[in-house]
Each structure stands twice: as C-alpha cells, then as structure tokens.
Amino acid sequence: MHQKQTQEILKELAKKSTDHEYYTPLPNGYAPGKTKYIIITGSVMSGLGKGIFASSLGRVFEDHGLRCSPIKFDGYLNIDAGTLNPYRHGEVFVLDDGLECDMDLGTYERFLDKNLSKENYLTGGKIFSRILSREREGSYLGRDVQFIPHVTGEIKRFLRELAMKSKADVVLMEVGGTVGDIENEYFLEAMRQLAYEEGKANCCFVNLTYVLEPEFLGEQKSKAAQLGIRRLMELGIQPDVIACRCHNPVTEKVREKISIYSNVPIDNVISIHDVESIYLIPGLIREQRLHERIIDSLRLKVKLKPEPNDWSDYVNKILHPKTKLTIGITGKYTGLRDSYASIIKAMEHAGAHNFAKIEFKWIETTEIEDGRKKVEDELKDVDGIIVPGGFGKRGSEGKIQCIKYARENNLPYFGLCFGFQMAIIEFARNVCKLKNANSTELEPNTRYPVIDILPEQKKIEGLGGNMRLGGKVVEIREGSIAHALYGKKALVRERFRHRYECNPEYIEPLEKNGLVFSGKHPEYRIMQILELPTHPFFVGVQFHPEFTSRPLRPNPLYMGFVKACLKK
C-alpha cells in the first residue's frame, strides 16, 4: 500500500470511535512509514533468548547508521518488575529514570550502548491501568471498553508514541513469553493490527523458535517448531523470518522443512545456535545476511558497513583471554544465575578489557550462616568476592562473615548496595567494637543502628517509605581510590535501588577507625561509597554500578576490582 494512502486511511480510522468499530488513536504528528517495526515473538518454549537476539539485531542496525529503539512487553499484570522475586523472573533491572523492569532491558542497554526509559517497557498491568484510568475519565465516549478495539488500540498508541519520542528508524518489539500463552494473545492481535494499518513495507515479523536435538536420537527434530509457527499463523500473523535456536548449527534439511511449513523463504530461515559468547550473535546475524534481507523488505536506505573494529576487538578479547580469575558471589539467590545477570555481565566486560576470563564460584551464605559450611573453606580458592544487593535477614550473617574474612585476609572485596551496608555493619562490630551493630531492616531494636531509614532521608527526592530509585549524582572525594578509578571526576552518575542508608550518627566513629567515605550525596550527609585505603581493594557502594557497565565502556569500579584481583 502506498505510504500516502496508508496515512489517509489511518487518519480516518483515528476519527472513528463512537459510531464505528475502529479505535486507532494516533499521536499528534505521527507519520506512518517514518518508523519501521520489527516484532520478535517466541514459539515452542520461553527462555530462548529473544532479548539477546533483538539486541544483537539492533546492534547490527545501529552499526549501519540506523537509530533503533527497543521495547519489551511482559504479559504479567504487575505494573512493573519491582516486586518480582528473582527466583521467579531473574534480576530486576533499574533504568536511569527509576523504572524497575525486566532484565532484557539491561541486555538492550548493553548491546546498543544507550540509556532507555519507561517508554521502552510495557506490561499487561501497565496497559490495563492506563485503560481503566481513561475509562474513568470518560475518554472512550460511552463505549463498552473491550479488548478489541480498545486494548489493542492503546497498545498501538504506546508503540507509536515511543516511535515519535525516540525518533527511531526502527522499533524492535519483543513480545515476552511464548506464542499460545493467554497473557500475550491480545498483544499479538495488536501487532497483527499494527502491520495491517502500517502496511507490509513497514512491519517485519521474526519468530524465534526452538529446534529439538534429543541426545538419545542424535538428530534435530523440527516438529515442535512447525507446530509453534502454525499457532502464530492461526493468529493471523505470517512470519517474515524464522530464527532457529539450537545447540548446534541447524541443518539445511531442518531449515527446508520449516521453510515449507511456514511459507518463509529458506534464506530467511536462519540458525541462531549456541556460541561461546552472546556478543558473537551480531556476527552470526551478519554471516547469514539476515540484516540485509530485513533492510530490503522494510525499504530502508542505508549503506552496508563491516563490523566496527572496536566490537570485533572486544569479541576477540573474550575469545582469547590470557589469564583466569575465580570470583566468589556471596548471596542467597545463587540457585538462579539470572538473579545476578548484570553483575555477571559487568564482570565479563571488565574481565575482557583486562584479558581475563571470569569464572564464578557461587557461595550460598545461608549455609555459612547456619554452620553447614565454613567461610574459610568457601573463600580459600577465590581471587576476590562480591557481596551483591538483596533484601531481608536470611543469609545476612553469612555475608558479614565473608566480609570479615576478606577484610582480615586482604582478599579483594566489592560490596554492592546491601553489600555496602553489610560492610559497614561488619566494620562497626569488629573494628569499632559496637557489639551487635546492625541494620534496622534486619533488627528493628538494635542498640547500634548503623544502617537505618532516617526522618530527614525520607523527605529527600520523594523517598518516603519507598525505594530510592534510578540515576543519582554522587560526589567523589578528591584523592580517594574512587576518585582515581573514576578518572578524577568530582561528580558521577550511578543507579540506585534501596531504602536503607548509613546512619549519619555513626559516620564519625567509623571514619575515626579507618573507614573512608569517598562518595556521598552532593547536598546531604548520605554516604554512598566506602573504602579502606590500607587494603588491596575493599570498596562498597550504595548503588548498582553493574547497571551502567557496557561491553565497550566497563564501569570503572568493576575495572578497579578486576585489576586488584589480578594483582592478588
């Protein structure tokens, strides 16, 4: 359909809301065809890596000069990911604007090297909340509010608003879950409608499917993939590309079967098999020239370019390390590695730039706490430890034991958020001799509340009884370890997610005994970085530096930690 015709039809549809079945709200100034949409779905099973695939495709497009804006839809009815248990959904990633979201947005930020915002994340709860608010305001002109056209119409509005605000050439839309799930069916219907309204040249559907390869058979089987794709086609969506996830490269025979079954040309049925690093996926896409075919189908005018040298150099460092480090992660969610996804990636970034392969030893601190394991046995074979963020009492005493061991044995230590607080408690107890010092989160009636929520803190930046979230400025003390690591910057911006703080009443005795607070709030006595100058590396931060680490720009604190571990 001609772009001008599409624009006129959309304008007409946008006007029809009371006497017609259409509901197509358009943002002011929206022009169909200016932004292209790539919709990425999954079939057979969840957890295939749609976020990694979408990020890799976006990386390749960005390398060709196209401006990409990714968005993730999660079907659950939570407004955001803030209350989700890491065991159920992986880590909660925090954007600079304070939105708590799915970990895939962290993948997007790392691959595309750009900060995202609340416009890049949509949940079922968020869209229904918007719709109910509009209904109460009378925005639907007395209509009975229905999934079609109102829910689908509001989803399309959200996407088009993102397209306009981001000024994107391409919006990469990842549909969470699996085709066939009840919670994303209405969203897929909205995507079908979007393609109908925008026109074929403006939308591309990519289905990431799974090709089984049972060990007992010794061959690849495509039947499950075929049935999953058929389910998508039953919803009125014809995929343009099929990306096949598999342990080994997908055979031509299997690609032919899937091609015939799905009406997708065999050149558009590609293999996304397991590789040594996720940062090799953009290269895999380039090798199979998928980006070229999508660029052609969407009629994007770009000049094809080779992979940038800095990205290929980074990948080369990952593949050819000169040494190995073993880092202990001391936590209570160690049964699910996705709970610490950003920490793992930040360590990989810093490790690669130091030509080191990072291996992790997962230390369950509840087992140290209850005496099933000894701290010296758990930490004797690691080159450094990280105490990550967390909430609640379980496992906290085990973390404190690990910190004490690291401090006394010159083992490089990096405390993140909760790890910052636990380091203060350990130091207060064992160096300042404040027996049983604690956090009021863990022990409300503790005699020495070195960690607390203070009345003056509750008033700052809308903290209240809720989280302190998102990007905040940290003032760095001149001459400190942090000052050197940050390139002697006086102010830096990092992301926070916490409620409790270092109690200002205890700053003086802590510093008197050798603890240095090298980062603080620019205006208030809120401590945000601690360090021990006499230790090889003993640093704790109230924020999450892993959220700002990127493959080509590792976070400076992680770089410092890795270098200290290498020296050990």
Query: In this structure, what DSSP letter does residue 462 have?
Result: G
Choose, from 348, 397, 544, 565, the residue flagged as catalytic: 544
Determine the Cα–Cα distance for residues 203 and 490; give it in Å rounded to an integer.
46
- The CA–CA distances, whole Å, from 154 to 129, 193, 381 equal 11, 12, 54
Q: Which long-range contacts (CB under 8 A, 24 or more apart) does 435-443 make?
A: 439/500, 440/500, 441/391, 441/392, 441/393, 441/499, 441/500, 442/392, 442/393, 442/396
Upstream peptide bond of 308 is cis (omega within 30 degrees of 0): no
Ramachandran region of residue 328, left (φ > 0), alpha (ψ -120 to 50) or beta? beta
Choose, from 246, 417, 432, 502, the residue flagged as catalytic: 417
- The CA–CA distances, whole Å, from 528 to 167, 178, 474 equal 36, 41, 7
Q: Is 292 a catalytic residue?
A: no
| Residue 301 CB neighbour total at 10 angstroms | 7
Choose, from 101, 535, 546, 565, the residue flagged as catalytic: 546
Of 155, 270, 293, 178, give the one whose Cα is nearest residue 224: 178
Q: Is 402 a catalytic residue?
A: no
Q: Is 417 a catalytic residue?
A: yes
Query: Is residue 192 within 8 Å of residue 232, measured between CB atoms?
Result: no
Radius of gyration from C-alpha coordinates of the chain: 26
Determine the Cα–Cα distance for residues 237 and 419; give it in Å rounded to an integer.
48
Q: What are phi and psi of 34, to 5 degrees?
A: -70, -35
Which residues are designated catalytic? 417, 544, 546
